[in-house]
Amino acid sequence: MPSESRMTQHLDPRSPWVISTHDLGKRPGTMRQMSLVLPAPADLGVDMIGVPKDAEVELDLRLEAVMEGVLVSGAARAPLAGECARCLDPVSSEIEVDLQELFFYSDEDASEEDSLLDGELLDLEPTFRDAVVLALPLSPVCREDCPGLCVECGVKLAEAGADHRHEKIDARWASLQGLITDTDNDQEK
């Protein structure tokens, strides 16, 4: 390994997301398939939804030695947990992402953003993390037609029923039209 290598911190081979490429032996064309289940890393998600820490992530991977390094491709499936952006009920679902990353043997061939092998080890966690963050729903919902909360009183509209309303204006329409006022003006006008 060249002394000017930018990889200053070595990977921990005991970390679950650090994978050994030892069997590939740096011979281009050598390939290995693997299926494994790894614990989800912490803090993987956005405000409303994410992959719970230590949840089981199922991976189907293909490791292939190429000239410059090891190409990892495959798919990962993980559970998602969060809350509905409309009614704040808990939401649980699943996410499936494709993974593809070339891990370079040497930083001489790689650019700043590229991933490097640390000897025979590679760290798949950043690849998985990036793929999941890109694929997360921006506003998760408990169901497609979730009516959300009443803007007036905060009651859950799915439970309150379709005829839930305040005074004469249906709060949902009022909010859409920006008509909500605090006064008791004559609404027939």
Residues within the interface to Zn ion (CB under 5 A) = 84, 86-87, 89, 142, 146, 150, 152-153, 155
The neighbour count for residue 124, using CB atoms within 10 Å, is 24
Please report how close the Cβ of residue 170 comes to Zn ion at its closest, in angstroms: 10
In the complex with Zn ion, which residue's Cβ is closer, 57 or 149? 149
To Zn ion, the closest distance from the beta carbon of 80 in angstroms equals 15
CB of 166 to Zn ion, least distance (A): 5
Q: Quick one: 136 or 142, whose CB is closer to Zn ion?
A: 142
Find out whether 136 and 36 touch, Cβ atoms under 8 Å. Answer: no
Question: How is residue 159 written in tokens?
Answer: 């439970």
Beta pairing, strands 121-123 & 18-20? antiparallel
Cβ contacts of residue 136 below 8 Å, gap of 6+?
A: 45, 46, 49, 50, 80, 95
Q: Report the relative pairing of strands 121-123 and 44-45 from DSSP bridges.
A: unpaired
Could you tell me how far CA 48 lies from the centroid of its own chain?
A: 11
Cβ closest to Zn ion, residue 59 vs residue 142:
142
| For Zn ion, the closer CB: 38 or 86 | 86
Quote the least distance from Cβ 177 to Zn ion, whole Å.
17
Which is nearer to Zn ion, 155 or 169 (by Cβ)? 155
Min separation Cβ 18 and Zn ion, Å:
39
Q: How far is CA 189 from CA 88, 185, 186, in A?
A: 36, 9, 6
